[in-house]
Amino acid sequence: MPADLSQPQRPWKLAAKLAVSLGLLLYLLRRVDFAEIARFVGHLDLGRFAFAVALYVAGQVVSALKWRRLASAVGFGGSAASFVGYYFIGVFFNAFGFGTVGGDVVRALYLAGSGGRHALAVNTVVADRVSGLVVLLGVALVALGVLHHYELPAALYWGVIALSGALLGGWRVLPRLLPRVLRRDSRLRRLIEQDLAPYWDDYRLLAEVSLLSLCFHLSQVGVLVVLVSALGLAVPWSYCFILGPLVNILAAIPVSLNGLGVREGGYVFFLAHIGVSRESAIAFALAWFVVVMLSGLVGGAVYVAHGPAPRGRRR
């Protein structure tokens, strides 16, 4: 889990991710009826759409509180309002930072402040991400098992199982294996054995974090259900328990710019599986994109009110 997210992405990596995102979007938009997409968007129920935005923002608040719990376990203090503010500033940079300075880096810098504990702050963000992905995989596994009548490709089942096993195995094995190959005076060994020890051994902490993460992911599924209803798409609400987790898992693969293109392609693929047209799926993906951008604007307002992160001593 220990990681260093403090450096911006190299230009060639950013260019490669941008190329992947643009390539996927161009591929999805080929041979589509833009008038049909506009028709679906034009019939959007604005009241339900506003509720979807509010539910999405509420989910981000829950996720911020989960991050606060992880940070407090390793010695970081701060009010709930502070953590929610830092989290939304991160959402803003994720939405509008174009990948040069990720929101995860930004909120770690805000958390560390001028105290100099940047490595530890970064790892609270990594723990937040990894714990969320593990619970998301669990939701996906349950949904795929219970809702097997949708008859998705077997490769999806095995992929989710393999990724779940790899993450859980790494969580149990790596913290015990790495100290054996590191020097006793190694800073990384001290970080693993002492600073991050609650992440390996505090089962109450892990249970609380998992519960908060589950609430967050269920809120994301709720946003999908509301958006489907707002657009008038013939998508069963139960299918959203498959659609949301699997698309978010795909978007977490770091091959595109903040999941752009991969997420939209995932929506098109999974919605086509139940007979939804490409135009309808793209309209849905566009609605989701706008929800995320509006949430990012909330973070932008917080950033303007709060100001830049404090400049502290960095190593």
**DSSP type of residue 116:** S
HSE of 108, CA atoms in CB hemisphere, 13 A: 25
pLDDT cut 70: percent of the chain above it: 91
Question: Which pLDDT score, from 0 to 100, does residue 184 have?
Answer: 79
Whole-angstrom distance, CA of residue 219 vs CA of residue 116: 35
pLDDT of residue 199 exceeding 80: yes
Tokens 């259900």 locate to 225
Output the six-digit token pair for 262: 């991969």
- Whether the predicted pLDDT of 301 surpasses 60: yes
Once rounded to an integer, what is the mean pLDDT over residues 166-179? 84
Q: How confident is the model at residue 4 (pLDDT cuts 50, 70, 90)?
A: very low
Residue 101, token pair as written in the block: 């300075």
Reported as a single tens digit per residue, the pLDDT across 13-72 is 777 777 877 887 787 777 777 787 888 788 889 999 999 999 999 999 999 999 999 999
Half-sphere exposure of 310 (CA within 13 A, CB side): 11
Mean pLDDT for the chain overall: 85
Determine the residue type at 267: Y
pLDDT tens by residue, 90-101:
999 888 765 545
In whole angstroms, give the CA distance from residue 163 to residue 177: 20
**Rounded to a whole number, what is the distance in angstroms from the first to the last CA of the chain?**
19
Is residue 231 within 8 Å of 43, Cβ to Cβ? yes
Cβ proximity of 99 and 17 under 8 Å: yes
Q: Residue 207: is its pLDDT beyond 90? A: yes
| Percentage of residues in the chain having pLDDT higher than 90 | 37
Q: Which residue has the higher pLDDT, 18 or 281?
A: 281
* C-alpha span between 138 and 165 (Å, rounded): 11
So what's the pLDDT on residue 310? Answer: 65
CA distance to 23, 257, 261, 263, per residue, from 19 (Å): 6, 9, 10, 15
Range with lowest mean pLDDT among 107-111, 158-162, 255-259: 255-259
Name every residue whose Cβ is closer than 8 Å to that of residue 34 and which is 6 or more positions away in sequence.
none
pTM for the predicted model, two decimal places: 0.86
pLDDT at 81 over 90: yes
- In this prediction, residues 262-281 reach a mean pLDDT of 89
**Domain chopping of the chain, boundaries:** 35-306
